[in-house]
A and B are shown apart, each in its own frame.
Chain A
Amino acid sequence: MEHFEPKIVCFACNWCTSAGADLAGTSRMEYDPSGILIRVMCSSRVDPQHVLWAFRKGADGVLLGGCHPGDCHYVDGNTKTLRRMILLKKLMGDLGIEPERLRLDWISAAEGKKFVSVMNEFTDQVRTLGPLELDGQTNPLGRE
């Protein structure tokens, strides 16, 4: 377990969280390299199915970052995301995936520091949870 390097997919909206990650970079803040970003225009583009897909394909954790409530570049995309992810988290338990493996957070373009701490905290959390095991028998996602 000690050398477990979790695989984390991080969906980030273009206007806030991805820009927040850029700010972490320009400020030369260091963080755990386990997560890799996929930039989408708005957090509301992220489908619960994308999250499940990631788990099926071997992700140990999925992080989803959007703008703070009220700040979404597309009026209220983030509220839609929130609703979808609350529902998904409920489902995850039934699918044998700890809901803590999914984190939704609001990280603004000004919050480089927050991006770093969320990334580090989440990586630590996933590391503690260990690798996501979805064995053949209880493998509703059909993980390969």
Chain B
Amino acid sequence: MSPKNAPREKRTGVFVCHCGINIAGTVDVKKVAETVGRHKGVVHAEDYVYMCSDPGQKLIVEAIKSQGLDSVVVACCSPTLHESTFRNAAKSAGLNPYQLEIANIREQCSWVHKDKDKATRKAIRITKSIIEKVKRNVSLQPISVPVTKRTLVIGGGISGIQAALDVANAGHEVILVEKSPSIGGHMIQLSETFPTLDCSQCILTPKMVEASKHPKIKLMTYSEVQDISGFVGNFKVKILKKPTYVDPEKCTLCDECSKVCPIVVPNEFDLGMTGRRAIYIPFPQAIPASYILDDKSCPSLFPIACGKCYHVCKPKAINYDMKPEIVEVDVGAVIVATGYDLYDKENMAEYGRGKYPDVLDGLQFERLCSASGPTKGQIIRPSDHKVPKEVVFIQCSGSRDPELHCAYCSKICCMYTAKHAMLYKHHVPDGQAYVFYIDIRSGGKNYEEFVQRAVENDGVLYLRGKVSKVFQEGDKLKVWGADTLTGKKIEIDADMVVLAQAMRPAKGADDVAKILKVPTDKDGFLAEAHPKLRPVESVTAGMYLAGAAQAPKDIPEAVAQASGAASKVLALFSSDTLSHNPVIAVVDEDLCSGCKLCIAMCPYGARIYNPEKKIVEVNDVLCEGCGSCIVACPSGAAQQINFTDEQIHSMVDTILEE
């Protein structure tokens, strides 16, 4: 298929469309047909009033057959409109569709010029340049690739779980990889959820169980994706399975091990508000339902274990010899649902850099409200366990602050702050809740009503303005702010402050993005292929996005996007093979010196060095056909099929011809 072997003396046919008067009004189409008809290699040229109409297409088909045309130019409107129409017509006449090209003499000529003489001359040049191109086109077949109908879902939050269930329920295998010891994500940490105030765990745990019991879903918790290669329909994935040192099949959750473990470290699930042992279960409803031994906290696992947990474990579930494992799987599609983390309180110099125990972030407050939380749902101060009577909620903490923090709006904080203030008032009816806000963004079904409920039914005091400073004085937290509506300075002696910290992409999500070669946006969230029309696809074919990994989202939006991503996967899996654009890069093996300069140019990893042949080869399926590597090749070994240097030069020549 090397472009060098393209036949030289072709019989080209040219068809000039009037497009009613759209072209013929400014371009002398008869003259165009007549002039290009004399161009070298053109054996047939005619004009017609509507080339794209049935009779117009018939003209092309018949001429291909009767004149034995082996290349065709249609001079008409933009190729975005009718290239496929005419290529299909050519195909029906037995001509390879890639032997037909469009000369755009409408959008780029007749519609933008008034001088008929100049427009006609320009149309002739455009058409001739395309004749020169098509003369050197080679026939191509779409590249066909099989599809592996298995999906990798990365991230076991609500988005990942939903996507996995949707794909699995349609009958396809799913591998759900979660880096922490249990699936559930941040949603499992929440107490109650806006706008309905239903208990988060009550609605999520059934889904977690369903995912874990689903015959088509393979759960891989405490695991991370290490490497991925291949392309849409055919990815090869390496997954690192970290050792948990406990066999989940044998663990009976008796808790004897953690009772004897001498090590206490901060509990991640309660965001450091409680402690846990080195051998622990993240939370009672964790899935898989098993204890794990955290080898970073257990000081005596290497070289010799203290052995306390091992000795009390009756079912003999503990195995100190468990090793990290690399699991390799083939998948056809990937859904990335790595979620978010909150912007660290330590970044907030103005609010005490996370030093004050009674300044919490939103998720800590969720744990405090939660019936399964460290205080069993009692709202008390971490510092002295007293019930706080004055609580200040600060919205946009770290959001909408392009100078110091994140420029964007985290979108959900208005809603969860209203929820927090409401929950606080339900727990402490005689307490006072203040909310500092820039403005309230409550777009969403029943959301505005929810915020109004907080104000009207629960007497939450909303203050429009920013808090400039929070500092500890005695056992009070001084909150200095301004009410921008009254123009007054405000000072509150608060017992507790809750910061609605900005939502950031999950820690480590940038590494995942690099491994997957999925671009991120300026804030580090995964970038969608099109901000409006392709919101669940990444630009990398076969990789889809779901949930807060793509942008701050609440649960309903995360679930909707997850189902959207799943439906994209199902559409992909609906056929057994995929076809791929064949207008790609090729390498002339004789000319390639193996310098590898092209490899760095390729954003798709499609250029691969072959050490045996000592040359670089192109993976047909990975190559998207941009042509950027061609320019990098110092020896002229690389060419883009049907966009060769020779073709471009000959087009330039005809355009500049006297």
Contact = CB atoms under 8 A, between A and B. Distances in A.
Contacts of A73: 626
Grouping DSSP codes into helix (H, G, I), strand (E, B) and loop, the B interface class, with mixed when no group exceeds half, is helix
Interface stretch (A40-48, A99-107, A122-130, A133-141): A40-48
B555 interface: no
Contacts of A28: 111-112
B119 interface: yes
A36 B630 contact: no
Contacts of A74: 603, 624, 626, 628
Nearest to B118: A33
Contacts of A77: 603, 626, 628
Contacts of A110: none
B113 interface: yes
Interface string B643-657: 101001101110110
A90 interface: no
Given A50-B645, A50-B648, A84-B631, A44 B626 contact: yes
Interface residues of B, number: 42
A40 B627 contact: yes
Contacts of B129: 36, 38
Interface in B612-650: 624-628, 630-631, 640, 643, 645, 648-649
A49 B649 CA distance: 10
A1 interface: no
Contacts of A25: 78, 106-108, 111-112
A70 to B, nearest CB: 8
Given A31-B112, A74-B626, A77-B626, A36 B126 contact: yes
Contacts of A29: 112
A50 B649 contact: yes
B539 interface: yes
B630 A47 contact: yes
B9 interface: no
Contacts of B78: 22, 25
Contacts of B645: 47, 49-50
A33 B113 contact: yes
B377 to A, nearest CB: 47
How many A residues touch the partner, as a band?
Answer: 35 or more
Nearest to B600: A80
A77 B62 CA distance: 41
A26 B113 CA distance: 12
Interface in B77-117: 78-80, 104, 106-109, 111-115
A46 B643 CA distance: 10
Interface in A87-103: none
Contact of B627 (A19, A21, A41, A75): A41
Contacts of A116: 112
Interface in A46-99: 46-50, 53-54, 57-59, 73-77, 80, 84
B626 A42 contact: yes
B603 A76 contact: yes
Contacts of A37: 104, 108, 126
Contacts of B631: 44-48, 80, 84
A75 B520 CA distance: 11
B122 interface: yes
A42 B627 contact: yes
Interface string B56-89: 0000000000000000000000111000000000
- Residue picked from A29, A44, A46, A50, most chain B C-beta under 10 Å: A44
Nearest to A8: B655
A9 interface: yes
Given A25-B108, A36-B125, A41-B583, A50 B628 contact: no
A58 B651 contact: no
A24 interface: yes
Contacts of A48: 631
A45 B630 contact: yes
A61 to B, nearest CB: 11
B380 interface: no
Interface of A: 7, 9, 19, 21-26, 28-31, 33, 36-42, 44-50, 53-54, 57-59, 73-77, 80, 84, 116
Closest 8 CB pairs of A and B: A25-B107, A45-B627, A44-B628, A74-B626, A75-B603, A42-B626, A25-B111, A22-B107
19 contacts: A9-B656, A22-B80, A25-B112, A28-B112, A33-B109, A33-B113, A33-B115, A37-B108, A38-B651, A39-B79, A41-B583, A45-B628, A49-B645, A50-B648, A53-B652, A58-B658, A59-B656, A74-B603, A76-B603
